[in-house]
Every structure is written in C-alpha cells, then in structure tokens.
Chains A and B, each alone.
Chain A
Amino acid sequence: MKTKLTLTIFASLVTTALYAFDPPPVGTAAPDFSLTDAKGETYSPSQYKGKYVVLEWFNPECPFVKKHYGSGNMQKLQEEYTGKGVVWLTIDSNAPGSEGNLSADAASKVMTGWKTRQTALLLDPEGKAGRAYGAKNTPNMVVINPEGKIVYEGAIDSKATPNPADIPNSTNYVKVALDESLAGKPVTTSTTKPYGCSVKYK
C-alpha cells in the first residue's frame, strides 16, 4: 500500500500533481426523486431532461407562502412559465401531523381553491426530496436547466417579509433566473438566502 502510494504520489509530482487537490463536487447536478401527486401520478425531475424545471417548496399554512398565493403572484409565475414550456413542481415536504402537511384530498382542494397553475403538486411526507435539496424554507425555490444542473437556488424574491404589499417592489429571483436561462444567458444571481417558514421535517 505504501509503495503504491509513493509511486502514485511521485507520478503525480511529475505530472505536476494537479489531482492532489480533490475536485469540486458535481454540485450543480440536481438530485433526482420520485414523488406522487394527489392523483397518485409519479413525477421525477429526471423525466424532464431537456426542459427547465422549477421546484417550489410549499406549505399552505405558512404566511410567507400565503403572501405569494394570496396576492396571486405565485399563480401568475406558474402560468407564465409553464406556458413557456417550463415544468413547475410544487413540493410539500412537511411531515404528517405537522402544520402544512397535505393529504391527497387536501392537496386537490388547495389547488382548486387557490387556482394554482403548477405542473404538479407533489407530496413528500417523508421529506426525501426536501432533504436531498437541503430545502429548509417555504417557499424555497430551485431552477434546474435542461441538462439537469441546478442553475438557481434560494429565495423567491428579494424582500424577506410576509407582507404582500412588498411584492411589487421586490426583485423576483426566480423570474430573473428563468428569463436569463430561457434567453440563453448565464444566471447572474444563482444563490440567495431563502426566507420563510421552516420545512417541518419528520
């Protein structure tokens, strides 16, 4: 073992040793998951290779989520971008028994009652998808590009308040990220600090 090491270390010295530094993570590769919606249909981000995918963490009881749904802001975004071929997956990672956890029935009711416009509202009571993405807030937003890499991660917009009156004066990071991506440009603000309620994990 030691001689092999010495040999490889020496070889690396000659080849100028670049791999003595461990490589950066695939970091930008979006973790995959498989979740069902209220109708029992299964969805995974990997099935949408070639399309932009938005992940939105959701809790119908959270005032920060209500800020964007009560004002119609979220529905407008969902409608606009699904119209442009973007896949929008809303995910509820709250554990059963905690506020915001949705049964299939309740999920359907929220969708019709709130007139939501996402591709699907997915139920993640085990918190698997949420943990894979380290989603800590509702809302927490992720944008995945057609190659399956994360291009945006963080808050929905720049004003961390539960007040709907702040929406017109804030920068919507998800909108900017999607507009830039769809125009073939790199995303200028790719990581922000998400704000909102905590996801109630199991």
Chain B
Amino acid sequence: MKSAFRLGAYAIVYLSILVLAPHGESQSYQGKELVKAELLADTDAVIPGKPFTIGLLLRMAPGWHTYWKFSGDAGLPTEINWNLPAGWKAGEIQWPIPLKTNDPGDIQTYGYQDEVLLMQQITPSAKIDKSSVKLSADASWLVCERICIPGSAKLNVDLPIASANNPANQELFARWRRLLPQNLPETAKGNWSRIGSDLRLSLTTTALANYPTVGFFPLPPDNTAVGHPTIESRSGNEITFHIPIQSANKSLLSMEGLLVFGQQANGEDRSAWQITNAATASSADSTPARGIFTFLFFGFVGGIILNLMPCVLPVISLKIFGFVQHAGQSRQKILRSGIAFAGGIFAWFIGLAALLIALKAAGREITWGGLQFTNAYFVLFLSVIVLVFALNLFGVFEISLPQSATRGLLGWTGAQGEAGSFFQGVFATVLATPCTAPFLGTALGFAFAQSPAIILSMFVAIAAGMSAPYLLLCAQPAWLRFLPKPGPWMLHVKQFMGFLLLATLLFLLYVLGAQRGLDGAIWASCFLLFVSIACWMKGAFVVPSASVAARQISVLLLLVLVIGSGIYFIGGKFRSTKISTGSTQLAGDWQAFTPERLQAELEQGHSVFVDFTAAWCLTCKFNEANVLESAAVREAFQRHAVVKLKADWTNGDPIITKLLQQFGRPGVPLYVLYRGKSEEPIVFPELLTKSIILDKLETISHTVASQ
C-alpha cells in the first residue's frame, strides 16, 4: 500500500514536471545569459477541438529588451513559427502593451523589459487519437541593450490529451492578459484625417480625464516610414495626435495602433485601446485643415475681382445679353449656356494649373529644386514679376496678344449651342489676359512654391470666383441691372490694384532684407529700377507706331539694360552679400535655437518653448505680434520660467528643416512646448490664440509641480 502510494506520488511528480516544467532554452552572450525562452500553456491538458492559449515567455537580463510588433526606430519584432500537427491552428500573436523608450538622437522604440509573454490561441483538431502531444515552435528575437544580439530557439511543450482540464500558470497569464489592449469602446469617437501626407487622429472620450499620460503607438503597414506621433492638442475629452508619414503613400487614410493610457508613461497600470483601420476608415475623408479653406476663399475672391478688370467687366453684360437673346428668354437654356461658359473658364484655369504642375515636376527633376521662399533668388524672381505687373497696371506698358492669335481664337467660338458657349468661356478668359495677367502671373509665381494639390485647388477656386457672376446672372438675368456700368472708374480700379502689388513688393523686399541684409535689399532694388526702365522703354518705344528698325533697336537696348544690370547687381553685388544668420531678429528674452541648446535646457529641467519662424512667413509674424509678444502671454512665460527659443528658417537652415520634418510640418510656423525631458512635446496649431498658449502653460506648471 505504502509503495503503491509512493509510486502514485512519483507519477504525479513526474507528470507535473512533464506538464508544468516546460522545456526552456537560454541565449547566452560572452558567458552571460541574456534571454531565457520557454513555451507555457494556460491549461494542463488539451481537450480536442477546444482552443487554449500558449505563451512564449521571454525573460531578459536586466537592462536588455526585446521588441513589440512595431519596433519603432530600431530593432525587430519577435517572431514565432509553429510546427503544429495536421488540423491544428495557431492564432495571431497577442502583443501586450509595450513600453516606449526614448534614446539619445531622438530614437524611439517600443518593446519589453525584464519579461514578456507573447500569447497565441491554439486550436487543436477535433479528433486526436494520441494520449499526449508535443507542440513545437521556432522563436526568434532581437535583444538589445547598448548592443543588439539576435537570438532564436526551438521550443516545445508537451501536453496530455484529456476530456477535462484545469487552468495552469494562472498568475502569469492573468498578469499579461491585463496588459493586452482592449477594443475601442463605442463611447469613444475616433476620426482620421490627412494633413498633406501626414495623418491626424482625433479622439473624443470621457476616459481622458482620468489619465495624465496618453500616447498613440502606431502600427504602420509594411514599407511605411512613420515619424513620432505627437499630441497636437488635448483639452477636456478631446485629444488630437499628429502622425508624420515620411514615405509617400497616397492611399494611406488611417493607421492601426494603440491608444495608451496611464498615470505615468510606461507605468505598470497602463491600459490601451486598439485603433483599427476598419473602425475609423469611414471617417477618413473628413475636413482638411482650416487653412486650406481660408486660402481657397482668397482664391475665390481673387477670381471675382478679376471680373472688375476693364477688359473683363464689359464681357459679362455682353455675354449674358447674348445668352438671353439666343435662348429666346428660356430660363433653362440661358442657364445651360451659362454653365457651358463657366465650364470654359474652368477648363482654362485647370489647364493652366496642369501646366504649372508639369513645369514644377519637370523642374524638380532637373534644376529648379530650390524654388522656395528660403531661396533668396526665388524671392527676387517674384519681386521682378510683381513689379512688372504693377507697372503694367499703372499703364507704363501694355501686354498684348498677337493679332493673328486673337483672330484665330475668335473663329473657334462660332460654334452654336453649349459647345460654342464653352469655347467662348475659354477664349473670353484668354482674351482677358492683358488684364488678368498681372494677377495670374503673380499667382503663378507664388504657386511655384506649392504642392500640386494646392495649385490645382487654388486655380479651381479662382475659376469658381471668376465664373460666379456669370452663373448667378444666368440664373437670375434680372440682376443684370445691379451690375456697375463700365466706365472710366474701371481704369482707376486697375491703377489702384497696381499699388496693392507694390505693397506686396515691399513685403518681398523686407524678406530679401531679412535674408541678405540691407545691402541685399538695396542691390535687388537697383536691379528692379533697371527692370522698371526697361518696362517703360517697352511702353514708350516698342509701339506699333514706331518703325520696325526703331522697335528692334529699342528691344535690343531693353535687353541689354535688363541683362547688364542683372549681371552687375544680381550676379555680382547681390550674390556677394552674406546670408544673414537671423540673429538680428532676436529681440527681448528670445534666444537663438540650436538642438544642443534645447537639449541642455531640458537636461536642466527647464520647460522650453520653441518658435519656428521665418521673415517671409506672414502667419508667423501675425502670431508673434498678436499672441507671443502680447503682455499676458509674455507674463505667463515668465511666471512659468519657460525658456523661449526662436528657430529662424528664413534661409532654410537644414537642421531646422530636419526638425520641422520630424514634426511632420512642411514649413513654418511651428510652435512646440517641451515640458520636460520625458514628456511628449506639445505641438500648437499654426494659428495661435492667447487662450491656447495660456491654457497649455497652466497644465504644464501642474505636470512640472507633480513630478
């Protein structure tokens, strides 16, 4: 009896060794054990057909870590490949919420320290005719401390087959299941939008109030280089993340990831919600940034203003009367003609945009890469365009289409019906060129610095503005009587517009001054003076009344003047002016930004506000004058002892460019508040308000105080 009892005890011990003590393997490096790997089941026996969970337990030496499904800027995710008996299935790895690590050099990685359990659901086949089963898997991982060592192991776990079972390794599985992300609750509302090539995720949930630390851990698709998500804004129940996308991926509308909450970053209590593509993809086409609308509105208004020009305004009345007569007062027919006419206007502007985009694309591949505001020569080029068109508006010289072209174009418009109206729309716009060129030319110049999508929407907006009166009047011909009568006043409007262009020129010269100093602005102005004289010569001497010889001599002289002064003032004097470092702009308690400076201030535990700005950036100037330099904000900065750094991008400093890219911004303005070394920086919207800044400064003082 006694021996039988002993035998039974041995059997139990043996069995428990077999079941509970799995076969582990360890990875050693230079005599040190780095990782201990083993497979563990959450059950002591397999019931045929009933799913259970097996976890790969990795125990890392202190200081060493393995990686999450998305490893971040470095590292590799752990992989598990199962060799299961026929009819068995393994589910996806259930990744616990990782820890986010920041290393010098802005390196952000996601991984696990000390220990991690990577769980997978195993579904056994419904019929198993053995009494036990050996399940084996090949695991491979990368373990890093200061250095990275790849590791791998062939692991297996033996489990008996039974009709009933008991849970095993309960504490371990419970502990790691607590760290699995949850599904996004119904009450939380997520919203994706695209900002240029970047993504923005806005979430509304009452849960935010309970957690000081919230982060978005991205799970980007393969071959998508993603930057570090930043919190763009957070207030009450709303949080907005900016997720920079570094690789061009036009179809990317949302991204999987985790919304991670905690009392502190990387805390044991951290919890997360799974953000899936499917759940939020429907809202992907949400509104773009407000800026685009403002900008398109300006384009629309610009288009309406074009109608006030002397060679356009008379066309409106004529066209509408024409439509009314041809259509025999049938409202529907009038409207159809009007729409066709507007279609012609759109076609012309879209064509213009396409041409510009094509030129720009070609330019990027060849040599025009530097057409940016950060490039002083580009600003100079714009100044010339603006000046020439201003002089044109003053009547110093005329822009004229060759007569043969005019006649040829008119021939096309003879077609009847809607087709005729369409071509009339195209050619009315073309024929109005002498009046619209000053504006369109200027717009084209500025448009060179923009992305294709923006160029296209801009020109569509102008077309909409320009065709609006036609459409409106075709719908309501009676309103024709509200139209101002053409007259000499139009000439005055035209000349007045010239002064507005000169105001633009002043602004461009201010930018040149900021880039190349006073000397630069003066030498550029000298060149502009000679360009003006050339324009005057064109208006005074290159006229039909002059003899052919006189005209040719004038043109020759004019070219000599422009090219000669260009070589002397721009190629010589202007080129030799030094690139201004921008330090002259530092006023008050602002200090020049360098990455080292920022790092040093943060090391000392200071909060730092960085203003990324440029002389040519109007939004920046507006924010600085109305918000950052206002008494209330200055006082608040001082009270919270925030160090204020100014990063001047006027000349396109490459270090600042890189930083802007890291924040996913194509340019300035950018405002960032660093609350401390370990805190996520807060990124402010492009248009600042006092309350945004003051609110954020208040929350910062709390975070700092509670640390």
Contacts and interface: CB of A to CB of B under 8 A. Distances in A.
B170 interface: no
Interface string A9-47: 111111111111111111111111000000000000000
A165 interface: no
A51 interface: no
B439 interface: yes
Given A31-B658, A136-B73, A201-B104, A15 B224 contact: no
A193 B223 contact: yes
A189 B224 CA distance: 11
Interface residues of A, number: 70
Contacts of A200: 103-104, 146
Interface in B267-325: 291, 294-295, 298-299, 301-303, 305
B662 interface: yes
B449 A191 contact: no
B618 A26 contact: no
**Size band of the B side of the interface?**
35 or more
B295 A17 contact: yes
B150 interface: yes
Contacts of A19: 373, 446, 449, 616, 618
A201 B105 contact: yes
Given A5-B622, A127-B105, A134-B106, A23 B449 contact: yes
Contacts of B305: 14
Contacts of A160: 76
A20 B658 contact: no
Interface string B440-453: 00110011011100
A61 B303 CA distance: 62
Contacts of A179: none
A133 to B, nearest CB: 7
Contacts of A127: 104-105
B73 A22 contact: no
Contacts of B660: 25
A29 B103 contact: no
A89 B621 CA distance: 41
A76 interface: no
B617 A22 contact: yes
B579 interface: no
Nearest to B445: A18
Contacts, number: 224
Interface in B196-230: 220, 223-226
Interface string A120-140: 000000010011111111000
A58 B150 CA distance: 17
B144 A26 contact: no
Contacts of B301: 13
A96 interface: no
B174 interface: no
Contacts of B149: 63
B76 A14 contact: no
A153 B658 CA distance: 13
A35 to B, nearest CB: 16
Max chain B Cβ within 10 angstroms of own Cβ: one of A15, A32, A158: A15
Nearest to A64: B148
Nearest to B79: A161
Contact of B107 (A147, A190, A199): A199
Interface stretch (B121-129, B184-192, B495-503): B495-503
Contact of B144 (A29, A136, A197): A197
Contacts of B146: 98-99, 200
Interface stretch (B406-414, B664-672, B699-707): B664-672
Contact of B662 (A20, A22, A134, A154): A134
B443 A18 contact: yes
B595 interface: yes
A7 B510 CA distance: 14
Contacts of B103: 198, 200-201
Nearest to A131: B105
B162 to A, nearest CB: 39
B622 to A, nearest CB: 6
Given A14-B500, A20-B295, A198 B107 contact: yes
B225 A20 contact: no
Contacts of B506: 8
A1 B629 CA distance: 12
A2 B248 CA distance: 39
A63 B447 contact: no
A8 B443 contact: no
B99 to A, nearest CB: 15
B476 interface: no
Given A132-B655, A136-B74, A24 B443 contact: no
Interface in B530-588: none
A148 B229 CA distance: 29
Interface stretch (B34-42, B362-370, B517-525): B362-370
A158 B222 CA distance: 10
Contact of A26 (B291, B625, B654, B686): B654
Given A8-B503, A31-B654, A195-B76, A162 B618 contact: no
Given A16-B462, A197-B74, 5 more contacts: A15-B501, A22-B619, A63-B150, A135-B105, A196-B74
6 nearest A-B pairs in the assembled complex, by CB-CB distance:
A18-B446, A201-B105, A198-B74, A17-B298, A201-B104, A16-B302
Interface of B: 73-76, 103-107, 109, 142, 144, 146-150, 220, 223-226, 246-248, 291, 294-295, 298-299, 301-303, 305, 365, 367, 369-370, 372-375, 386, 439, 442-443, 446-447, 449-451, 454, 458, 462, 497, 500-501, 503-504, 506-507, 595, 614, 616-619, 621-622, 625, 652, 654-655, 657-658, 660-662, 666-669, 686
14 contacts: A10-B500, A11-B501, A11-B504, A15-B439, A17-B298, A19-B373, A20-B294, A22-B619, A25-B372, A26-B654, A63-B142, A132-B654, A154-B225, A193-B220
Interface of A: 1-2, 5, 7-32, 61-64, 93, 95, 98-100, 127, 130-137, 147, 149, 153-154, 158, 160-163, 186, 190-202
